[in-house]
Structure 1
Amino acid sequence: MPAQHPTDDVLIEHLRKGDAGAFKAIYVRYWRPLYGFVYQQLGSKQDAEEILHDLFLSLWQNRDKVHIQQLSVYLFVAVRNLTNKFIKSKINLRKYREYQLLHRIVESTQPEEIGNPEDLLQAVERVMQQMPEKTARIFRLSKIEEMPVKKIAATLNLTEKAVEYHITKSLQMLRQQLQRFQSHN
């Protein structure tokens, strides 16, 4: 590549020609702000990294097919779309998993099996301490304070899909812990 700090337009041009150096320069230039954006939405390092991997893999694989006018706009729109798709895939499972969890607890647990209700509350509290801070906060607002998803989203400046993702994530963690709790009693 000719310039030490090429413009986005130059990087796009070289990327289309299969220049791995241009791809690396784009990656280095945009990875951190894209990661910050995705992490803010999901609160999960692993999920954010996976989404960025998919984004950059797609960029490289489709380098000669995509028409990019503004690289930063293209990348942020693409990563937002991938994040929303990821969240939506988690949301589709949420209601089913909530139903499963509640059904399993109601059907399989008799009041005498719980033993001390304080033990169950402590188990739930332990799980909440293990959750990422944002996930635990959203769980508290949703399930304990019974705040609607829309209001949580407005309060925390998140999309409704992001809030629903965190609720799903918290329910998964709780379900796993409750299974262990039930198996110990």
Structure 2
Amino acid sequence: MNKPTDVELYERIQSRDKEALELLYDRYEKLLYSFAYRFTKDTQMAEEVMQDVFLKLWRGKGAGTYVRERGKFSSWLLTITRNGSIDLLRKKKVKEVEWHNRDSLHEDLPGVEKEIEDKEERDALRKAIHTLPDSQQRMICLFYFQGMSQREIAEKCDIPLGTVKGRVRLALKKLRENLEKEGGIDDERS
């Protein structure tokens, strides 16, 4: 008996044939996993993406429909895997504050990250933040502690981007002044 083609298995899956899903899984499991791993660089995420691709095939939702005229079945599966990997990375992305990439702030205030590394400095910073007006406190908290970009803050707070940039700069200037007065940080630029 001839081995069923990918398209034949796909059509059988559409009719809820579990054996067809198992055969297709055995055929593509390693390829889809390794392809997802190249995107995610994480074994658990790659496994999750691969499982999700087969679940979408079984449910008939989220994967679209394979059309033979548009290309090979394996290419279609890899496209679903790529899209799933990208989606999962977006969902699970841990927002990290990338100090050196935050708009133009690092040019204005070099070394801020280094200056607040130890606990005493962080405590002094928290106290200094509480001396700021509420609008500036909110900008600092969203920007540094929640890792939002200035553009995201503008959208979330429904205010112009220029206003966000101005408030962040002013808040940072006031924080620096307050910390220097209180001896919370040493200003090596002096």
Larger radius of gyration: 2
| Bigger RCO (CA 8 Å, 6+ sep) | 1
Question: Under a length normalisation based on structure 1, what TM-score does the superposition of the two structures give?
Answer: 0.48
Q: Which has the higher helix share?
A: 1
